[in-house]
Structure 1
Amino acid sequence: MSAKAKNKLTPQQRKATLNRVLHKIRPYSAFVVCSLLVAAVSVAAQLYIPILCGDAIDKMLGKGNVDLAGVLRIAVSILVVAAVAALAQWLLSVCNNRITFSVSRDLRNEALRKIQTLPLSYLDSHPSGDIVSRMVADVDTFADGLLMGFTQLFSGILTIFGTLLFMLRENVPITLVVVCITPLSLVVAGFLAKRSYGYFQSQSTVRGKQTALVNEMIEGQKVVQAFGHEAESLAAFDEVNGQLQEVSLKAIFFSSLTNPATRFVNNIVYAGVGLVGALYAVRGGITIGQLSVFLSYANQYTKPFNEISGVVTELQNALACAARVFELLDAEDQVPETENAAALQPDGHVQLQDVSFRYLPDRPLIEGLSLDVQPGQRIAIVGPTGCGKTTLINLLMRFYDVNSGSIKVSGTDIRDVTRASLRGSYGMVLQDTWLRAGTVRENIAYGKPDATMDEVIAAAKAAHAHSFIRRLPEGYDTVIAEDGGNISQGQKQLLCIARVMLCLPPMLILDEATSSIDTRTEVRIQKAFARMMQGRTSFIVAHRLSTIREADVILVMKDGHIVEQGNHDQLLAQGGFYAKLYNSQFEGVQT
């Protein structure tokens, strides 16, 4: 199925999107009413000027019949009316800008709040670049279309009806000429708008793919260059860029036809008014000044059709982008907390009872897993890649919910406690570090923003990060770039360890927490971890088995099952799967 066919909205979906946009505008209805009023004043003032000009022309016809005083009075009136129109136009832009950027702000806030409630499975299955594109590029495009709609659509419609009223007041037959020819413009604009909408929808989708690809390439540029994949990356980008070019050209082609097509119809209207009006003027049916008024109105009457046709095209694009944002907002939230969810009071006792979990319905991962962890125990989890180690951590933190069975902390099912209290009970240090753009101090105090400077320094010393922090240009006030781009991977990991050292929650999760740290520092960190883990239930995911010799219990996982468990010496003595893993790491090493 083509991208266009897949992403094009049905008329019902388009109507639903429009209704939701109107619902978003409703809180700013006072500004909408104000916009309509000042638009009416602006249009009325602009339409009154041609009548004044026509009167001035009639006062200057005929040799020696120029009424100079009357012309001067009319000129003053024109200046006053023009000033009123300019003031109304300024107020109109103020109101429209307030409406547009308030709605786009609300959409972005709602999208960001939505991300906080989305299940981890959604974020895992959608490219981050596409989500960013919806929140930034699509909202910007939507705002541009909305602003154009408010700025030109209201004024255009009021101009059309206002001009008709003024023309009917002057001469009905000439007005009928205008009314009879004008519908051609609407037919042309409607046809082109329908054709362009699908391409604009596809354009938004492909642009999201392009943003995701660019984001992926920037984040992984070192790997791309290390493996010599520059040509493949360029080829992939060229392909997406070519798709964007194709749909964009088609969208622009049909939208660009709107203006010249409606202008052609408008010129026919103007010529018709000029011809019929001239015949009436020759017969004395209207004055020369009235003929000039009609020609001016014919121009003003047809101009909004030009603008409205352009607005309709932009609104089609805006609706297509709004639909993508609403698609994000409509994504299913994570399983809500139970109505009477209580704050967890952890004592470190963790029980897994017959837990089963699968990411895909037809592909089981963890089946029938049971485990009883006593308070203060150090539980190491080892096994080959893909056996379910990290998945088990995700289940403990309730980033994913079990498909069957239960996980209990302190005898309470974690589905019956608040997520905030559950996750606040764990301190987590992952192999994949994450730092926010901010100072070193802010990053260490991320989980405890009210921590004193002495507490932050003590945590940094415990994590052996204090020495390198002192060498930074501004020490603890040094600003770290996004995701720690201006410090090494090992230094980032030390800051993440210091972050946990500062909070010291009752339970710990260490997922290969020292993978990016040099051997000498690792020895010190392991000693710090040993002190930190005393009296705390700890789950340690390890690939280097030498780091978990002191664990109270080692769980050996394979294909989602615990195939062995015991301490280091017991498992080696069994000579089973753990012993093979351990010996494979130290084969040929003299001990």
Structure 2
Amino acid sequence: MKIMKKFIRYYRPYRKVFLFDMICAFGISIIDLAFPQILNYLNATLYLEDPQTIRRAILVLAAGLLVMYLVRAACKYYVSAQGHIMGARMERDMRKELFDQYERLSFSYYDKNNTGEMMSRLVSDLFDICEFAHHGPENVFISLLKIIGSFVLLCWIHVPLTLLLVVVTVAMLLFSLRQNKRMQATFMENRRKIAGVNASLQDTLGGIRVVKSFANEKIEREKFAESNERYLTSKIDNYHCMGWFQSGNNFFQGLLYVTILVGGAYFIAQGTLEPVALATYALYINIFVTPIEVLVEFTEMLQKGYSGFKRFNEVMETTVDIQDAPDAQELRDVKGVIDYKDVCFSYNAEESVLDHINIHIDAGRSIALVGPSGGGKTTICSLLPRFYDVDSGSITIDGKDIRSLTLESLRQNIGIVQQDVYLFAGSIGENIAYGKPGATMEEIIDAAKKANIHEFILSLPQGYDTYVGERGARLSGGQKQRISIARVFLKDPKILILDEATSALDNESERHIQKSLEELAKNRTSITIAHRLSTIRGADEIIVIGEKGIEERGTHEELLQLDNVYARYYRLQFEGLEESA
């Protein structure tokens, strides 16, 4: 009931459409119930008159019935068209809410969940919810009206025979409830397994270049076949349940007709039921049985929609661990003074990544973080824009704790250039403009010039309108990196994070991009993570991060004179090259 209450709130914006949909459904039910009564009335009155009277009444009768079924057709159109449109709009609303929730969730959620599974919730789950949202209330309402209405009229015709039908119907209901529990479990398993198929597909297609470079198509086929087979197994279990459910209900429906024929024959023999009345009774039985069939089908739809909404609700109820404080203020007039004060952090409770880290960076100054992989360099940078929150201690910008600032204003003032560049499907111009939505073409071109990519873009047949391909597949690593730098130039932040921005490039590309990065870092507070020590010689301070935290700090020359960790790294990178030269 708790989940259903949450589901019902999505009807609120469409109350009028829903109400009229139910009125139309009521009209359809009343007309369907009226026909046997009209026929019964005509059998008892008009059809007993002389032929001349019948002929005179035919036109009036035809006109009345025609109007009645035109009204029914109009109601059916509204139920089918507007009802579906209402369901589609509810699906849109839920999809928007789910996407917004995905946008709010922090990196820690994405660390634990697969993109393919998230897409499954966003697409296939919500489709089933949409079908249930429209057909559910309408089918239940029409079916209950017909069942109750036909039951009352059946009792009016013959009570004892109707009581026999009630016994069969109750047995049918108990059977349905029992099978329903089994179906619910199988539908939930279906949802999990199709999410696994989507996850496998997304993983393989996302890394298709790696797959082909290692000629591992066979391995990926086997992995996909395994998840596909698991889904098939869950579907087979599901269809076995559905088969038992539908065949059992079909048997009970047949039993209803057997009860009418046998019971009707008995009561006719007893003289308590007229053969003509039994014919009318049979017409109502059809009206009684048809909505029961609809309810049986609705049960399957209910389980699919319920399972989908339950998975949807799991995401919507996930706590957003990184969010604005109630009294959060905007970060304005940024100078760029950064302080890490006694910062401790761990991705899980068992293993500490940062332990009592203290770093001070003056406005406009540059620091570089070096050290072995896994030491916490990227983590230090990820804490500044609050991709994760510190466990203890604090990080301040211009003396303001970043947790007291709005996330939007904080991140707008921080520019990040990463080693793994992500370009969105679209044109080069659109990807640069991502740094400042609504930027003019002149601003985009100016940013491209500063990133030393303008001439290359103009050499392309379509210039700034050139399509970059999925994740920038049509561009080289250096070209993608310079586009990402242009994006940050356009954003124009006061604080800059360079996360191994040149480590994956060749020497020539590195030289070009290093110039762009030096231009980008002017008059900004910058934090650079680098494995190539040649790129950080000019940093105002170099901090060596090791397993025990900060091991050394100082300028390039000071650290070489210490002849310790940094000096050893430096010699490993350059002395071998000098000797071979």
Shift of 1:93: 2.0
2:51 maps to 1:102: no
- Is the CA contact 1:49–1:81 (under 8 Å) kept in the aligned structure 2? no
Which residue matches 2:330?
343
2:147 maps to 1:160: yes
Q: Which residue of 1 aligns with 2:440?
A: 452
Secondary structure of 1:435's counterpart equals coil
Show CA shifts across 1:12-68 (max 9, x none).
xxx322222123223333333222211111011112122334455666689989945
Q: Deviations over 1:451-480 (max 9, x none)?
A: 221221111122121123223342112344
Correspondence for 1:406 among 394, 398, 408: 394
What is the rounded CA distance, in whole Å, between the counterparts of 1:481 and 1:504 in structure 2? Answer: 26
AA in 2 matched with 1:249: I
Q: Where do 5+ consecutive residues of structure 1 fail to align? A: 1-14
8 A contact 2:25–2:75 mirrored in 1: yes
C-alpha contact (below 8 Å) 2:496/2:524 kept by paired residues: yes
Q: Secondary structure at the match of 1:317?
A: helix
Identity of aligned residues (%): 33
CA contact (8 A) 2:429 2:464 kept: yes
Matched to 1:43, the amino acid is S
CA distance in structure 2 between the partners assigned to 1:276 and 1:152 by the alignment: 30
The root-mean-square deviation of aligned C-alpha atoms, in Å, is 2.4
Residue of structure 1 equivalent to 2:345: 357
- Residue segments in structure 2 that go unaligned for 5+ positions in a row: none
Partners of 1:412 and 1:299 in 2: CA distance: 74
Instruction: Confirm whether residue 183 of structure 1 aligns to residue 170 of structure 2.
Output: yes
Distance 2:560 2:102 in 1: 46
Distance 1:492 1:245 in 2: 41
How far apart are the structure 1 equivalents of 2:3 and 2:460?
51
Partner of 1:436 in structure 2? 424
Alignment check: 8 A CA contact 1:34 1:95 kept = no
Greater displacement, 524-533 / 550-559: 524-533
Query: Which residue matches 1:6?
Result: none
1:12 corresponds in structure 2 to none
Structure 2: distance between partners of 1:55 and 1:416: 78
Aligned equivalents of 1:236, 1:128: Cα separation in 2: 17
C-alpha deviation, 1:500, in angstroms: 0.8
Inter-partner Cα distance in structure 1 for 2:437 and 2:210: 35
How far did residue 278 of structure 1 move? 4.7
Are the structure 2 counterparts of residues 495 and 394 from structure 1 closer, same or farther at C-alpha, using a change threshold of 3 Å?
same
Quote how far apart the aligned CAs of 1:158 are.
1.4
Aligned residues, how many?
577
In structure 2, which of residues 16, 38, 46 is the aligned counterpart of residue 52 of structure 1? Answer: 38
Name 1:424's counterpart in structure 2. Answer: 412
Report deviation, 1:588: 2.3
Does the residue aligned with 2:324 lie in a helix, a strand or coil? coil
Which residue does 1:327 correspond to in 2? 314
Quick check: 1:233 aligned with 2:220?
yes
Matches within 5 A, 1:369-380: 369-380=357-368
Name 1:139's counterpart in structure 2. 126
- Give the superposition deviation at 1:137: 1.4
Match of 1:299 in 2: 286
The CA distance in 1 between the partners of 2:473 and 2:285, in whole Å, is 62
Match of residue 12 from structure 2: 26
Change (3 A) 1:429 1:129: same
Range with bigger deviation, 569-578 or 372-381: 569-578
Q: Distance in 1 between matches of 2:5 and 2:192?
A: 22
Q: 1:71 deviation in Å?
A: 5.3
2:243 corresponds to 1:256: yes
1:396 aligns with 2:384: yes
Deviation at 1:395, TM superposition (A): 0.7
- 2:14 counterpart of 1:37: no
Deviation, structure 1 residue 200? 0.7
What code does the residue aligned with 1:323 have?
K
1:558 to 529, 536, 546: 546
Mean CA deviation greater in 377-386 or 88-97? 88-97
C-alpha distance 473-283 of structure 1, shift in aligned 2 (>3 A): farther
CA distance in 2, matches of 1:278, 1:66: 34
Query: What SS does the aligned partner of 1:571 have?
Result: helix
Structure 1 residues 225 and 268, CA gap change in structure 2 (3 angstroms) = same
Which position in structure 2 is the counterpart of 1:205?
A: 192
TM-score (norm 1): 0.92
Residue 576 of structure 1 corresponds to 564
AA matched with 2:88: F
Verify the 8 A CA contact 2:344 2:390 in the aligned structure 1.
yes
Of residues 399-408 and 272-281 in structure 1, the stretch that sits farther from structure 2 once superposed is: 272-281
Q: Find the residue that maps to 1:351 and give its secondary structure.
A: strand
CA distance in 2, matches of 1:294, 1:513: 81
Cα distance in 1 between the residues matched to 2:60 and 2:255? 35
Q: Report deviation, 1:118.
A: 1.1
2:416 alignment partner, SS class: strand
Cα 1:286–1:82 shift into 2, 3 Å:
farther
Verify the 8 A CA contact 2:114 2:199 in the aligned structure 1.
yes
CA contact (8 A) 1:96 1:150 kept: no
2:524, 2:568 → 1: CA distance? 30
Q: Is the 8 A contact 1:444 1:456 kept in 2?
A: yes
Matches within 5 A, 1:536-547: 536-547=524-535
SS of residue matched to 2:341: strand
Instruction: Compute the displacement of 1:295 (Å).
Output: 0.8
Letter of the structure 1 residue corresponding to residue 98 of structure 2: A
Query: Which residue of structure 2 lines up, in the alignment, with residue 217 of structure 1?
Result: 204
Cα contact 1:388–1:560 (8 A) shared by 2:
no
AA of the residue aligned to 1:314: M
Letter in 2 for 1:533: A
CA displacement 1:253-304 (0-9 Å, x = unmatched) = 2123222221211122122223444555677766555332211111220121
What amino acid maps onto 1:513 in structure 2? A
Which is worse superposed, 416-425 or 349-358? 416-425
Residue by residue over 1:173-217, the C-alpha shift from the partner in whole angstroms, topping out at 9 and shown as x without a partner, is 333332232112211211111111011111111221221121111
Question: What residue is the counterpart of 1:495 in the other structure?
Answer: 483
Q: Is this contact kept in 1: 2:329–2:405, CA < 8 A?
A: yes
Write the letter of the residue equivalent to 2:323: P
How far apart are the structure 2 equivalents of 1:471 and 1:150?
A: 60
